[in-house]
Amino acid sequence: MSSIMQKEIFEEPSVIKHLLASYVTEKDEITFDMPDRVDNVVIVASGSSYNCAAIAAPLFIEYAQIPCEAEYSSEFVLQKKHFITPDSLYIFVSQSGETSDTLNALKMIKQEGVKTMCITNAKDSTMWKLCDYKILSDAGEEKSIASTKALTAQIFCSILVILNLVHKQGEDIGGYLNTMRRLPAYLERIKLDVDKINDAAHLVAEYNNISILGNKNYYPIAKEGALKMKETCYLNVMAYPFGEFMHGHVAVLNQKSIVIAIIDEENADFAVRNLKKIKDEYNPKIICITSVQDVKSGDINIYIKTKRKMKAIFGSLLTLQLIACEMAALLGKNPDSPKGLTKVVKDN
């Protein structure tokens, strides 16, 4: 039986099409309002929205060459000092626009007179009203507790912010935007690989000791995949950067284990080398989600064909979402309404 969560994952290509139509013109202009000058960015969020922030932060550095940090909202409010310049931009990300920790962080930093922006799925929310610059992620109502399409919309909007800053620096962004225009069709193709995705879910569902590995932008995607499995299957799934996993954490593989590895062009040699060592020394089951066709290091290899990082980010995320959703069904859990979780977190 299909779930609301699965339905919302399947809506992700149409959500991106809608955002392209809303914010990108045929002349490669991005239409939402932005500060003219930005010299550093801090992104503040909680839960899945924090994973959006952590995915986006290195992209700000790589593409816009602007320093960027991702901060947990609950940690941000405990810090007494924050780095601020006249051209700092603080971005607050929340599906509901009412996340209490994130609102507290926003109210705190506004007292410093800093420029603020929100990326939210809720127009006229408290966050929307408080921020100087506003981006509606516009994924439509998300009914499932575990965020999927709303998160994808947040990441997409974050990339548009980056590309807008690149454009303000005088660089042609047409090639990047053409990649984004091809993204919906790319995700539709990944959805069709249902047999491999379901095979992976059946295998992972047999384990209680699950590690998800990824580098750079893919480490927070690994964290998001782990969060989805925690939320929907109630399993203690852990995410690690590939290299860091080998420093002590790898000992968890002395138990019956499975490893999910996210691999792209940049980390392929490093990842394959470490997976071989893991297999030789611990012999866990391995699933690879890879944009590199020649990588065959897993017991199951899910190929998300692309050489473009901005597409592979979304492809690996959608794949992990679908694996988690199918696992929940196999384990007899309701992915739409996990026990003890609610959609909107507000102060009383």
CATH number of the domain where residue 97 is located = 3.40.50.10490
Looking at the structure of the chain, the number of domains it has is: 2
In a domain, 288, yes or no: yes
Global confidence as pTM: 0.95
Please check whether residue 141 lies inside any domain of the structure.
yes
Is the domain of 211 the same as that of 169?
A: no
b/e string for 232-248 if b means 16 or more Cβ within 10 A? bbebebbbbbbeebeee
263 and 165 in a common domain? no
pLDDT at position 233 is: 96
Residue 139 CA to residue 44 CA, distance in Å, equals: 20
**Same structural domain, 153 and 9:** yes
The answer to the question of residue 348 being in a domain is no
- Same domain? For 136 and 210 the reply is no
**pLDDT number for residue 347:** 46
Across the chain, the runs of DSSP E, i.e. the strands, are 40-45, 68-72, 88-94, 115-120, 133-136, 210-213, 237-240, 258-263, 285-290, 300-303
Contact partners, residue 247, CB within 8 Å, separation at least 6: none
Q: pLDDT value at position 80? A: 87
22 and 152 co-located in one domain: yes
Q: In this structure, are 16 and 164 located in the same domain?
A: yes
Q: Are residues 171 and 201 in the same domain?
A: no
Q: What is the mean pLDDT of each run of 10 residues along the chain (348 residues)?
A: 89 98 97 95 97 98 97 95 96 96 97 97 96 97 92 98 97 97 97 94 97 95 97 96 94 96 95 96 97 95 95 98 96 82 53
Residue 348: the pLDDT is 34
For residue 48, give its domain range.
4-181
Same domain, 159 and 102: yes
In a domain, 335, yes or no: no
pLDDT of residue 344: 55
Q: How far is CA 29 from CA 8, 33, 171, 263, in A?
A: 29, 12, 12, 32
